[in-house]
Amino acid sequence: MASAEELAVIEKAKVLMVGAGGIGCELLKTLALTGFKDIHLIDLDTIEVSNLNRQFLFRKQHVGQSKAKVAREAVLKFKPDLKIEAYHANVKNSDFNVDYFRQFNVVLNGLDNVDARRHVNRLCLAAGVPLVESGSTGYLGQVTVHVKDRTECYECQTKELPKTYPVCTITSTPSKPVHCIVWAKDLLFGKLFGDKNQSSDLVVHTTDQNTSAATEDAEFFNLKDGETFESYACRVFDGVFGHNIEVALKNEDTWRARKRPRPLHINEVCSDSKRMRIDTLTSTANGSSEHTVSAARMLGLNNHQEVWSLKENASVFLQALELFHATRKKEFGSLVFDKDDQLAVEFVTAAANLRASCFDIPMQSLFEAKGIAGNIVHAIATTNAIISGLIVLEAIKLLMDSLDDCRTTYCLEYPRRRMLLMPAELSGPKSSCYVCSQTPLCLEVNTSNTKLKDIVEKIVKGKLSVNSPIIMQGSYLIYETGEDLEEDMVARYNQNLEKCLDSFPTPIVDGSILLLEDLQQEFTCSLQIKHRETFDEEKEPDNMVLSGKFSTAARDQTSLGLVQPAVDNNPIQAIEDDDEVILVGDAAKSGIKRKSLEEDAVVSGKRQRTEAS
């Protein structure tokens, strides 16, 4: 029970919540019932069917609506005296700048990606507002506190970025189910239904100059004039799973130490009698929303945890392709994979399994493939409720100016010393942090063939999460973004993007230092360039390596695992599910000691891992 003093502070507090998903729904409810009166809520997402099993402020009729606004209305029904401001917007919008953050007493995060977490962390540092960070996945969860100059910031702990795969592995020599799913989701799906101008990574190259892949023709994926749909679908099937594999087999050196793949043709797998016609599909699909149309259901394949046979995968592939043309053709050119789009998941599952069959890789069920393609670690509502309660407890301590009482608390799957909630002391700021301590980073890159565009996209925006970068080389401004730029300046900066580093008037070479800045985040960082001639294509597919406190030790992408060293050299792991990111001490998997409140207390040695294979 809160004291009278605590209740008075709670009622006067102005709180910002970022995220209205699995943790966010529980957190908004808990804040309301605890007595908070002034709550602001930001969330970009809309409600999906898959949210309904754990985000209890939402109902079926809310699908497609703003999470933030629906959550607000739901809470006001049982606490109508509250002031809740809901924004259906991206927290990275310029409206939510440092001045906006300064009005709040505390910021509470319930986000689902590292990029947004970094952005909020930097704004809180710049505004001097304490941040309570949280995450959950399955039975595991964590809550921690970040206060400028008093504790480590969110980025003091290095975060591993999602595993990337060399294009040659994806297109030519896959060896894991995740390779096939990435190929189906990012390459084949995009080529058939997305931007037709994307680079044709589906093309298989061979040393035989007289042989070319069927998919090398720019018009291959288009339905030709006078061509029946069945002929088109079979042509795509044979080209992608048959002829392309035959072309790959021409590269004899590739298969000296590898098992040779087996080409797959439609007539070998699926007879005419098993192919449903488009008129049947159109009539069957009428009345279904675009996200609920299902090729598998039409074929009677209703068990999502059962692995389809080769013939069933071929049938689903053809049916899904026809359904996209029958019901979604207006969206062609702009479609992107969405884990909540049933037809898209079915198409990707079938295509990935057909490719897996060619390379003798285990096939996956629809349920398994969706988890890998959507980077899903399934969430549990009870864990989210526990985490939201811990967030509020830490927020109250901060409001009472009791930082010494704040803790990082781990929610465990298995009890340790009869404890399921394991507290640990907060750590101080890291002198090596490139964010709160502004420690320089080092970028190894070939300055002769790397363009500034590669640095901006892969490093500045991709790995450092700088949203509106300004890049200086000494006193020279070489790149800038912003809506208020003159057209001639935009043109000049665009020209700079296409220049190799050593071709600038003052060449960017070994030993050069670039200063990065983001005015919205009030963030600055120095990047020291180190020239390097060659890179390992398998281990360093970006052809550049960022080092310093920032680390990119890799793990398979199926769960978007993020590995980072923590205090006392004990790693912390972050696993991102479809709602939140969890930070779990290495003690959670190995029993290594951490600065705990109980002497010799360690976190449970049992922990589930989600791997690609």
Which residues participate in the annotated binding site?
Answer: 19-24, 43, 51-54, 67, 112-117, 153, 156, 433, 436
The answer to whether residues 324 and 236 touch, using CB atoms and an 8 Å cutoff, is no
SS3 516: strand
Identify the DSSP state of 374: T
Give the N- to C-terminal CA distance of the chain in Å, as an integer. 48
Quick check: is 168 catalytic? yes
What does the alpha-carbon distance between residue 85 and residue 100 come to, in Å, rounded to a whole number?
13
- Residue of 377, 339, 372 lying closest to 135 (CA atoms): 377
Cβ–Cβ contacts within 10 Å for residue 561, how many? Answer: 22
Which residue among 168, 180, 234, 500 is the active-site one?
168
Beta bridge partners of 38: 14, 83
The answer to whether residues 513 and 416 touch, using CB atoms and an 8 Å cutoff, is no
What does the alpha-carbon distance between residue 490 and residue 451 come to, in Å, rounded to a whole number?
17
Structure-block tokens of residue 38: 């002034």
SS3 494: helix
How big is the CA angle at 229 (ends 225 and 233), to the nearest 5 degrees?
115
- Residue of 244, 193, 173 lying closest to 538 (CA atoms): 173
What does the alpha-carbon distance between residue 482 and residue 487 come to, in Å, rounded to a whole number?
11
What does the alpha-carbon distance between residue 86 and residue 18 come to, in Å, rounded to a whole number?
10
SS3 582: strand
The answer to whether residues 226 and 233 touch, using CB atoms and an 8 Å cutoff, is no
- Binding site for ATP, residues? 19-24, 43, 51-54, 67, 112-117
Cβ–Cβ contacts within 10 Å for residue 425, how many? Answer: 15
Amino acid present at 172: S
Tell which phi-psi region holds residue 291, choosing left (phi > 0), alpha (psi between -120 and 50) or beta.
alpha
SS3 82: coil
The bridge status of strand 83-88 relative to strand 38-43 is parallel
- Binding site for Zn(2+), residues? 153, 156, 433, 436
Catalytic (active-site) positions:
168
